[in-house]
Amino acid sequence: MPTACVVVPTFRRPVLLERCLRSLHEQTQQADEIKIVASDPAEKDSIKKMVSRVGLPEVEVISGAHLLLGGEARNLGWRSGRSDIVMFVDDDDYWDNGKIAKHVRKHVESGAQVVYSGVTYTFSSTEQNFVRLAKQPALDMKTALLQDGYCPPTTSCVSVVRYALESVSGFDEVLKSYQDWDLWYRLADSYKFASIPEPLIYFVQHSGERVSMQSDNRIQAGNQLLAKYGRTQELLDFLGRELIRTIERALVFSAKDGDMTSFGTLRSEVRAQNLKALHWRTSWILLKMIVYFSRYGLPRALKPSR
C-alpha cells in the first residue's frame, strides 16, 4: 500500500491547529509522516509541546529561517518528506476520520495522481454548515478548472502523488494568491484526477486572516496569472468570478461580526469597479449583508462588554 504524508502549514492559530491535529490523531489509517510547518519560526517550540499533548506519532515540526507564505510553507513540508502520497490540511480545517484511508484507496483503485473529495463548509459564527459534494472529474480538467464547480475549494481536500508534485516543482511561491488553483491547473496538463464525492473535510469559514478573503491579493495574483498564462477570455472570466466571491465573503463576514464599516467598504468596491453598481450580484451581496448584520452582527455589537 502507498505511504502517506500529511503537510500542515500553520501561522499563529494554536487553538485551531490543536483541533486539526486531533482530527489527524483520530484517523482510521494513520499517516506515515506528518510535517507541521511553522510559518513563524518563533512558534516551533510551542507547537512541539502541543504535538506531545495530542499524542500524535510520526510528527516533525519544521520551519524556515524567516516568516513563510502559504506556498513556501507547503513546499517546505512536502519536500521534507518521502511518502508516496502527499496530503495537505490547513491549520483551521479538520478531517473526517476516514479521510487518509479513503484517499489512499482512491489513488490505488483509480490510478489517479490527484484525488479530491467533498467538503462540509462550517461557519463558526453561526454554527450552520452545508455540504458540497465533489464533482466527477471532467474529461478535460484543464478547461474545467476555469469553470464553476470543478476547482477543489481548498488544498485540505486534495492529495497528490509525490512524483507529480516533483515534476511541476510544487506550488508557485511567487503568486500572492491562487497558489492551489495554479498547481491543479499545471498538474492537469499531464496527470489524471479522481474524486471522492462524499465530504471528508470540514472547511472552516471565519473572518480571521485568510489570503482568499483579501481582494487586493486576489487582484495582484490575477494579474500574475494573466502574465503567466495569457489574457484569454476564459481566464479573465474565471478571475472576475473569483474576485466577486472574495469580496462577497469578506463583506458578509464583516457584517456578521457587526462591523458597520462593511457597508462603506461595499461602496468603495463599487467605486473601484470591482463590483457593478447596477447588477443583481451587488444587490444580492447587500441584501445578505443586511440580513446577517440584523440577525447576528447587530445583537453582537449591542451586547454589553464585560
Parts of the chain with a pLDDT under 50:
210-212
Burial of 140 (0-12, 13-18, 19+ CB in 10 A): exposed
The x, y and z cell numbers of residue 3, run together, are 505511504
Phi-psi map region of 178: left, alpha, beta (phi>0 left; psi -120 to 50 alpha)? left
8-state DSSP, 84: S
Q: Taking the CB of residue 133, how many other CB atoms lie within 10 A of it?
A: 13
> What burial letters (b/e) apply to 109-131, b meaning 16+ CB within 10 Å?
eeebbbbbbbbbbbeeeeeeeee
**pLDDT for residue 211:** 41
CB 179 within 8 A of CB 71: yes
Cell, residue 148: 464553476
3-state secondary structure of 4: strand
**For residue 179, what pLDDT is reported?**
96
CATH 3.90.550.10-classified regions of the chain:
4-205
What's the pLDDT at 305?
A: 58
CA 114 to chain centre: 16
Q: Does domain 4-205 have CATH number 3.90.550.10?
A: yes
Taking residue 14's Cβ as centre, other Cβ atoms within 10 Å add up to: 13
The per-residue pLDDT for 213 is: 52
Question: Grid coordinates 478547461 are at which residue?
Answer: 143
Question: All 3 cell numbers of residue 162?
Answer: 509525490
- What is the C-alpha separation between 193 and 115, in angstroms, rounded? 6
